[in-house]
Amino acid sequence: MLSEFDIQCVNQKSVKGRAISEALADGPISGDEVDDDFPDEHLLNIGISRWKMYFDGASNRRGNGAGVLLVDPYGTHIPFAVKLSFSTTNNTAEYEACIYGVKAALAAGAKYLTVHGDSNLIISQTIGVWRVRDERLQMYTEYLQQFIPYFEDIDFKHLP
């Protein structure tokens, strides 16, 4: 069909990616300094979306419970409380609260989290400053540690 019109197919030469990079490498611009000063650089800086989590646990004659407050990067407060249906100490109630909060933050999609708690024991044991002596608390510490790798960054801070 092409022979009727005396048309011939000619393949285009393609420039390989390597040839372009070699040509650019052979002829660098010399003497000119690279201008890396971007105008409005502060506008291009995107902050990390960091969540906050506050936890507290309590155990007394009237019952046992855990309270958590999640705060998303936009400042939205997400509070929740859990009534523990088993006998516990104040320290285990604190661990329960911390674990519930960390799991809730993961479920909400948090990748960067700062955990705040008023229990110096729980915070110090979790970050490894203090060793865990009570074997009941050891189980809680190990369980809590399982969730840490799921975050890009997680900090634990004591609130006095």
Query: Domain residues for 115?
Result: 50-158
Per-residue pLDDT at 12: 57
Q: How far apart are CA 119 and CA 140, in angstroms?
A: 14
Tell me the pTM: 0.69
**31 assigned to some structural domain:** no
Q: How far apart are CA 98 and CA 53, in angstroms?
A: 9
CATH classification at residue 150: 3.30.420.10
Give the residue carrying structure tokens 């046992």.
64
Q: Alpha-carbon Rg of the chain, whole angstroms? A: 29
pLDDT tens, the chain, 160 aa long? 555 666 666 565 555 555 655 665 666 566 666 666 666 555 555 567 899 999 999 988 889 999 999 999 999 999 999 999 989 999 999 999 999 999 999 999 999 999 999 999 999 999 999 999 998 899 999 999 999 999 999 999 999 8
Per-residue pLDDT at 159: 92
List, in sequence order, the alpha helices (H) in the chain.
Answer: 17-26, 41-44, 90-107, 120-126, 135-145
**142 assigned to some structural domain:** yes
Per-residue pLDDT at 152: 96
Per-residue pLDDT at 160: 85
**3 assigned to some structural domain:** no
**15 assigned to some structural domain:** no
Q: Give the chain's domain count.
A: 1
Nearest residue to 145 (alpha-carbon basis) of 130, 125, 126: 126
**6 assigned to some structural domain:** no
**56 assigned to some structural domain:** yes
**40 assigned to some structural domain:** no
